[in-house]
Amino acid sequence: MARLVVVSNRVPVPSAKGGTAAAGGLAVALEAALRSHGGLWFGWSGKTSTDREIEWLEIRDFGNVTYAVADLNRRDVDEYYTGFANRALWPLCHYRLDLTDFSRKDMAGYFRVNRSFARLLAPLIRPDDLVWVHDYHLIPLAAELRHMGVKNRIGYFHHIPWPPADVLSTLPVADTIMRGLAAYDLVGFQTSYDVENFTGCMVREGFGRALGNGWFESYGHRFQAGAFPIGIDTESFVEMAVEGAKNPIVKRTRESLHDCDLVIGVDRLDYSKGIGQRIEAFSRFCEMSPSAKGQVTLLQITPKSRSDVPEYATMQRDVAELTGRVNGALGDVDWTPIRYVNKTMNRNALAGLYRIAKAGLVTPLRDGMNLVAKEYIAAQDPNDPGVLVLSRFAGAARELDGALIVNPYDIEATANAIGRAISMPVEARRERFQSMFPKIRDHDVSWWCRTFLDALSQDESAIPT
């Protein structure tokens, strides 16, 4: 079996004692894949150094896995990460052209940091290694590695949506980004819709031609693109949710609810997640259904993220204000309609909270997949499951068709769906749950890893003639 090299923007380096730092399902699955293949995990340490250039790596071995991380200096972080990745590519891929900032300085920083990463990584790659690069921060990495003579098979997975050609074309360096993707051997997306958009960008904008069967030829290189929907670590999440009932935070929540039904939302504070629209919809639901007063509470768990990016700071203020306004207008001395928690919960508590919630609201305006949707289903009691209200614009909606699928821009319809979810009879809830659970059980995160790596291991013989 080939050795595996994983490259991601951030690397969860275990503690000196060997304890894992990987918290989420994705990191745990990648760590497991690395352990079974043996390998190397390379990326940014997450630290900002005072050095002028990225020049050195901190390398540590844990069993058969090596972790190699580099610090970035302030300018690199501002231009590569906060700037181009999070103020150009992220809003662009989430169809938010109104929030893009195409600064030339940031673009240059993005390509510069990718070149520096390639320079540090290239000498660590052995001839038969499989290289797997993750996410939009690192699109140009393969092209840079190729310039340095790296001939290995290199795969890329795009965790967020891929936009249609008209949206991508607004990016001044769209051609360099497409050229960067063409340097990989396999480019993975979350859904077939993203693959369609990517094909449109390739073919319609004249960057390359489609050879059929997911194969493309572009800038003299043949590569494959396909949909690889990411999953969660379903088995361990189910266990965590069952155990979660004993968690002190879950107990406290349950006691504080008295007879109120709980509805839950869990999202990083990000404008793609539709948190404002969701709060409006919940507020509309409370206004429309007098019986909701004092009987239903929305728990919105929203850890802060990317506070260095101005659009996120603005959003933090807006959501806090909106929540305050709704609670002020609708609440009473003994009832707070929305409990807004602006901090990170531990994962066990989160799993237990999903389980006691009668409805899970996952209503992003645009999302690559959305793992919260899958976690909410995994956490349910099969005999008395809650109902998932899911945006049609989340990649997860392609698989989780037993959810109440909503258009999150339609506040009235989302409010109605919340009402339907809360009052749905148990037989209908069970039926919906049973239609979804086997999918997330069979297509878990290990399946996703395996499927991607199997496809990456194939050679060019599968290209149609």
Smaller CB distance to ligand GDG: residue 34 or 125?
34
User: Residue 139 is which amino acid?
Assistant: I
Exactly one of 9, 14, 22, 24 binds ligand GDG (CB under 6 A); that residue is: 24
Strand partners of residue 52: none
Smaller CB distance to ligand GDG: residue 213 or 346?
346
Question: Does 375 help bind ligand GDG (rule: CB under 6 A)?
Answer: yes
| Terminal-to-terminal C-alpha distance of the chain | 29
One character per residue 405-444, x = contact with ligand GDG (rule: CB under 6 A): ----------------------------------------
CA dist 442 → 383, 394, 408 (Å): 20, 20, 28
| C-alpha–C-alpha distance, residues 84 and 71, integer Å | 18
User: 23 in helix, strand or coil?
Assistant: coil
159: annotated active-site residue: yes
Site stretch for ligand GDG (CB under 6 A), options 58-66, 202-210, 370-378, 414-422: 370-378
**Closest Cα to residue 337, out of 350, 325, 345, 349?**
325
367: annotated active-site residue: yes
Query: Given 37, 94, 137, 159, which residue is catalytic?
Result: 159
Smaller CB distance to ligand GDG: residue 83 or 352?
352
| C-alpha–C-alpha distance, residues 168 and 175, integer Å | 9
Query: Given 194, 367, 443, 444, which residue is catalytic?
Result: 367
Exactly one of 75, 221, 268, 293 binds ligand GDG (CB under 6 A); that residue is: 268
Smaller CB distance to ligand GDG: residue 371 or 390?
371
| Interacting positions 206-265 with ligand GDG (CB under 6 A) | 230
Q: Starting at the edge strand that comes first in sequence, how are the strands of the sheet with 359-362 ordered?
A: 338-341, 296-301, 261-266, 359-362, 387-391, 404-406
Which DSSP state fits 272?
G
Smaller CB distance to ligand GDG: residue 118 or 345?
345
Strand partners of residue 65: 39, 62
Please state the closest distance from residue 50 (CB atom) to ligand GDG, in A.
29
User: Residue 308 is which amino acid?
Assistant: D
Question: Does 370 help bind ligand GDG (rule: CB under 6 A)?
Answer: yes
Exactly one of 121, 160, 338, 397 binds ligand GDG (CB under 6 A); that residue is: 160
Site stretch for ligand GDG (CB under 6 A), options 12-20, 306-314, 342-350, 426-434: 342-350
CB of 25 closer than 8 Å to CB of 237: yes
| C-alpha–C-alpha distance, residues 181 and 349, integer Å | 39
Total binding residues toward ligand GDG, as defined by CB under 6 A? 21
CB atoms within 10 A of CB 462: 11
Question: Does 369 help bind ligand GDG (rule: CB under 6 A)?
Answer: yes
Exactly one of 301, 353, 379, 421 binds ligand GDG (CB under 6 A); that residue is: 301
Smaller CB distance to ligand GDG: residue 40 or 230?
230
CB of 85 closer than 8 Å to CB of 104: no
Strand partners of residue 226: 188
Angle at 103 between CA 97 and CA 109, to 5 degrees: 125
Query: Residues interacting with ligand GDG, by CB under 6 A?
Result: 24, 26, 159-160, 230, 266, 268, 301, 303, 344-347, 350, 367-372, 375
Q: Which residues are catalytic?
A: 159, 367
